[in-house]
Chains A and B, each alone.
Chain A
């Protein structure tokens, strides 16, 4: 996994709550077998006027000028700003792969869907929970300065604008793993003895589970 230390980019304002993972990447792209190639289909229903499927060449589809991702300078953006409960719904990690493949490295919102939030950390995408007041302020900054940029510093846990900076918090374990881009499976397997000991004890207690 690609480590995350700091990231600077244009903020893309998505001023809606309850943006679900179906909206982030629609069902037809879940047939793909890899972790890459989803970027062109990020917010597919909203980004294109005509429907598409895995084998539809994106270049032949009409883009929706009303979708913020199709508007400069937001088409160069890499920090997504949204309202509450971002990433609710389906557990599809494809939603995170689509954001990453498109080039998004940070999502700022007042709250997130639980499963989506977990999935982000396993893919080098940083979801940051901020107070509603600060989210509102950031939307206002986006409005007053088109192409407003932020720097997100995970080492210092700070978001920095041209004039202001704001602190954020992230659980220590998740932060460490993101900073170092660690392989969690490898880390867990370092504890294989503890898992085996536990497993053998359970096998005695509930033998019907082990067959």
Chain B
């Protein structure tokens, strides 16, 4: 048999049928649901009296519209009545269709992409879908995981399959040993800066190389998470001993003899050495500096010791107009240094960077320090209730609160500002989230994407700063 990539293997294993119209029917092992992209799918099923195909493949959890305060009050603590109705509708739909729901009051509640791996709902070799573009996160476990629209949510509920087309293969190889203070977030931001937000469009990306092998599972999740910001629906990393170690003892992971059997199969979940990729990108990251975004697209990113682009140096008129618009929106000038830029808010959280490792790194840096009085608000939002409890067991919450951060309950929070955690017009934010689009964190808000370490350093300094200088 011809050499195969990891993506080829996952694809072939899940191919049910090739359809006359040229598309493929792909079997879905795990379907994760949340309150925002599922109600219309359930309404669709109800309208024609359809039932879910396989109940145990589905797990739902509210995360997008939930508040990060007053959580002891449960659903009735959601002040926004429309959001409250949406969270309640998810619960009603799960009850009606007999789908497992992790409720708002449950300590396991959290951002769907943090909850999946934490509970062992994400297992190597799976196909995983969710009505959320950051589903690519789960690819860190050698899965084929991708975001889908609500019509597809309904299709997966009803048929356990997805009608889709095979993507091309792309490999990104990160080589080199990272400098201190350089994290997975810097790697993925730098990659997107290099290949652009459409650099991976139409491709499934496999991340490989010594730098990826050296990362923890948390770091690999951060990388895979932002595949969609590089244009790719799916990103993935081969199975190895770290994957195995992360899964040991997870509530829904296999155990004992079955774990051994599973492990034998999982070891095959890597690209063959002579497998061919349609596109390859090699990146030496040994000299990589801390990255920060300056504009309104994740590709508008540079090193902290650099400046915004010089407009005069851009010859392509369409690109110049895009950069000019972004600079205007961000309240920045052509060629302006990023270091020293005063910030109003700090957000440490999101499915990109709200796992325990992220919080430990932040706590290490801010211990005994104070958030600058120039900063109006500095939020730390754990990715799940269990991440929050673990942080509290380690005393991290105490470190955060003493330093002047607000320690909140789990959810998507200010990453997209569907709840009341958001930016006001003109506010500048150091954020560990994944998107810096116009208005993403609030109408007129200005987002700078960076690693948790860089966001923590910015909180202390009250301005964008180099983590190497703190």
Q: Which positions in A face B, CB cutoff 8 Å? A: 16-18, 20, 22-23, 26-28, 30-35, 45, 51, 53-55, 83-85, 88-93, 96, 111, 113-115, 118-119, 122-123, 171-174, 176-177, 184-185, 188-189, 191-192, 194-195, 198-199, 202, 205-211
Contact = CB atoms under 8 A, between A and B. Distances in A.
B152 A88 contact: no
Interface stretch (B80-88, B335-343, B357-365, B395-403): B80-88
A184 B150 CA distance: 13
B322 A122 contact: no
A89 B201 CA distance: 11
Given A85-B201, A195-B160, A31 B80 contact: yes
B258 A115 contact: no
A20 B228 CA distance: 12
Given A88-B231, A91-B132, A93-B149, A208 B254 contact: yes
Q: Which residue, of B16, B39, B164, has the highest number of chain A Cβ atoms within 10 A?
A: B16
Contacts of B258: 207-208
A145 B149 CA distance: 36
Nearest to B150: A93
A18 B297 contact: yes
Contact of A115 (B17, B147, B160): B147
B123 A23 contact: no
Is the contact region of chain B dominated by helix, strand, or loop, or is it mixed? loop
B23 interface: yes
A189 B21 CA distance: 15
A89 to B, nearest CB: 6
Interface residues of B, number: 75
A34 B40 contact: yes
Interface of B: 16-17, 19-23, 25, 27, 29, 36-37, 39-40, 43, 50, 53-54, 56, 64-65, 80, 82-83, 85-86, 89, 123, 125-126, 131-133, 147-152, 154-155, 158-161, 163-165, 197-198, 201-202, 228, 231-233, 253-254, 258, 262, 265, 297, 318, 321-322, 325, 416-418, 435, 437-440, 443
B440 A22 contact: yes
A33 B86 contact: yes
Nearest to A33: B39
22 contacts: A16-B325, A20-B437, A27-B418, A33-B86, A85-B197, A91-B131, A93-B131, A93-B149, A111-B198, A114-B233, A118-B148, A172-B22, A173-B19, A173-B21, A177-B21, A184-B155, A185-B154, A195-B27, A198-B16, A208-B123, A208-B262, A210-B56
Given A17-B318, A91-B148, A22 B201 contact: no
Given A31-B418, A93-B149, A88 B21 contact: no
B148 A22 contact: no
Given A115-B133, A118-B149, A184-B163, A93 B37 contact: yes
A190 B136 CA distance: 30
A89 B435 contact: yes
A67 B158 CA distance: 41
Given A89-B437, A173-B22, A188 B159 contact: yes
Contact of A199 (B27, B80, B147, B318): B27
A32 B85 CA distance: 9
B322 A17 contact: yes
Contact of B439 (A45, A96, A177): A45
